Structure formats: structure tokens, C-alpha cells
Amino acid sequence: RHLRYATSGLGTEREMQPFEEETPLGRLSIVYNGNLVNYHPIREELEAQGVSFDSTSDAEVLLKFFCASLGDAGSPFDCLRVALEKIYSRLEGAYSVIGMLEGLGLFAFRDPLGLRPLVMADLADGHAIASETYALSYIGAENIIDLRPGELLWIDAKGAVYRALLSHKEHKHCAFEYVYFTKGNGVLEGRDVYQVRAALGRHLARKAQERGIYADVVTAVPNTSHPAALAMAWELRIRIEEGFIRRDGAGRTFILPNQRQREKAVSSKLAPVASVFQGRDVLIVDDSIVRGTVSKRIIQMARDCGARKVYFAATFPPITHPCFYGIDMHSPQELLARGRQLEEIEKAIGADGVIYNSAEDLQAAIGIGDLCMACCNGRYPTPLEGVECLQNLRKEHQGIEAQQLAGVNS
């Protein structure tokens, strides 16, 4: 069973996926990646109809709405299609879903905006569906393709594949996927993620030149920023060295529930190589600055090792608005760049200088125009009805998760 990276729900065992429900077609199970913006009003609507819930997860809301909307005539594909047309007309947010009708087949669908990725591939003896191409890299998958936003995929028990495009909205793929979540050898919407990150490094190099920032050495914060750091160092003709060693098996600090645990995690997962920093001006490259927790601690590590000056470069533009589509930054108060000038950001994290890519740099590096960059520009691609409830639920979840982690570590 899987407990996804939680952005809605209380993060307890009841939120573990898959979620299952008995239907006239048989047992239906789903797993999903994303976040329902109008989770609360849809849940209230279903409860008014007598539907009960066992969790606070938006995945269960999606499942219950889906099952209540299933068609009652025709093939399983026809019944799923009826349900999905209702979902596309009512549910707002990001959702990439994989599901199964027991004994009948496998299905998948993607929200009409394509905010979260979803891919399928052929195997020697069947088919595979995953949230990113990396998951298919080691199982002999071939003919890997993106499911189209607004598309329903059905694979019956005999292996026959059926596809239907049920929505035709303007796409809004999440830009943050390219710099942080996706593995470096992944492909998103036909774009090589490694090359996107390298292009972002070249943009940063030009920014450094414009500001007259020079360093003796460039180093990356493991692991997502390595391609950008390599490209930046090459462009600036500066040597690049491994300044931080990441502990094997260390998780991601960004997705931890509170500031204290994020700060503790940085120290426990990264160890500096003192000789890289001693007596040098250093340029540290990271994928982004969200809350500033990681950046501040890393800069202090460099100074503790004897760095003279520490510059910090982020491949992603300043994050000034919360995300409601599955990235854990619901609270605007947590965002370091919100309401701050560049000099204030530099002071807050203790850097001698901070370099960001612009939104235009990001879009140019990715190379597609249909991106969601609401966390940078505040232009959200969906209505925001219900986000206050999401924010409150996330705060409650963070408190519970913090208590659970404290109990484990005590």
C-alpha cells in the first residue's frame, strides 16, 4: 500500500492508497497523484446525498464521486467514460489517476489541464502506467507516451487498449515538475528533463555575468541541481566540485511537515566537503528556494568550512504564491520570496548574493508555452473555491505528522 506525498488529508493510515469501493461493475480501486482544489464542497455535496467517508483524503472524495457517476449501460469502458465526463465537468485541480476494475481491466485518466504527468508503455507481456518515465526505465518498457490531458485509457483483461479524449481545455503543465520532482533521466511532455535543467544553468550563468558575480568554484546541492550546476560552471569557465555528500537513502527535506524537522533533516542528509569551501568564494546551485530552510543551512555549512563568500543560485524563479495542485506550499506565509526584495532574501538566508532565473528563462528552458507557473505569477488555471479548507486541513495534517515523527525519533 502507498501513502502518497500528502497535500490533503491528515496523513494517517486511513489515507493510505489504494482506495477501494464496491460498484455494480465490481470492486474498483484507484491510486492518484495531485490535489483537488474543490475537495471540500464536493465532499459536502456527496455527504448531503448520504455518502459516507472513512478518511479526510481527497483521493477518497475523487473515488466516491467517480463511483457515484459510473454509467449503468454498455461496456466497462462506456461506464467509465460516463463517470469521467462528469468528473471533468465538476472536479477542479490536478489529478492523474490509475485504477482497476477487479477482473475486468485497468484504467487511467489525467485532468484536463495536464497539471500532473502520467505515462503509459508497452511491455513484452502487457502494458504499464506510471506517474513518470523513470518508473519504466528498468522494466523493459517500450513505446513510452504521455497520456493526453483529458484522456481516458482502458486496458481490458485480454490486453485490448481503448482510448478516448474527453476534454479539450488549454493545457497547463506544472513547471515545478521539471526542476524538482522528476528524476533527471525523465521525459516530460516530450522534453528531456536533464537538458531542461542544463539550460536553466546556462541562464543562471548569464545572470551571474550581468551582476558581476564571480566565484572560485561552483557546487550543487544534491541531486536535482547537478545538471544546472555543470552547465553554469561550463558557461562561466569556473571549476565545479562536489561540495556536499548526500547520505544514502536520505529523503527530501522539502516534503517534511514543519520547519524544525526540515532544518534537522538538512544536517542529517548532507555533509559538506570542507576542502571545497576553505578560503574560497563559492557559488552554490540549487533547484529552488521555497521556504529558505535548506538554503540557509547549506550556506551556513559553507561558511563553517571557511568559505570567504557564498553566492546562491536557484534554477526556479522566486516562489511568491501558494500551490493548490499537489506541491506542498499551501501557506503564503511560509514562502521566503513573498513580499521580500532580493536584498532581503539574501539577508534572510545569509548569502552574499542570490541569483534567480526569471519566469521567461524557465519557460524558454522548458520549451513549451502551456505551463502552470501560478506559484511565481499568481495566475491560477482553475477556480479556487475551497482552498481555505485545503489550507486548514493541511495545517492540521502537519501537526499530526509532526507528532508522529517526534514519537518515532524520541
Q: In the predicted model, what is the mean pLDDT of residues 126-142? A: 93
Full DSSP string of 4-45: ---SSS--SGGGPBPEEEEETTEEEEEEEEEEETTHHHHHHH
Domain locations in the chain? 13-171, 178-379
Confidence of residue 1 (pLDDT cuts 50, 70, 90): very low
d(Cα 132, Cα 189) in Å, to the nearest integer? Answer: 10
**pLDDT tens digits along 80-114:** 999 999 999 999 999 999 999 999 999 999 999 99
Q: What is the 8-class DSSP label of residue 2? A: B
Write the CA distances from 356 to 34, 145, 202, 295, integer angstroms: 27, 32, 12, 13
Does residue 15 surpass a pLDDT of 70?
A: yes
Out of 20-34, 233-247, 380-394, least confident range: 380-394
Q: In this predicted model, what pLDDT tens digit does every residue of 215-239 receive, in sequence order?
A: 999 999 999 999 999 999 999 999 9
Quick one: CA dihedral 180, 183, 185, 187, positive or negative?
Answer: negative
Domain 13-171 superfamily per CATH: Aminohydrolase, N-terminal nucleophile (Ntn) domain (3.60.20.10)
CATH of 178-379, one of 3.40.47.10, 3.40.50.300, 3.30.60.50, 3.40.50.2020: 3.40.50.2020
Burial class (CB in 10 A: 0-12, 13-18, 19+), 244: buried
Minimal CA–CA distance to 319: which of 310, 331, 303? 331
Give SS3 for 164.
Answer: strand
* Residue 268: predicted pLDDT: 72
Measure the N-to-C terminal CA separation of the chain; round to a whole number of Å: 26
Computed over its alpha carbons, how large is the radius of gyration of the chain?
22
Give residue 2's pLDDT: 43
Please state the rounded mean pLDDT for residues 318-338. Answer: 93
pLDDT given for residue 255 in this prediction: 46
Of the pLDDT bands very low, low, confident and very high (cuts 50, 70, 90), residue 387 is confident
Check residue 386 and give its pLDDT: 75
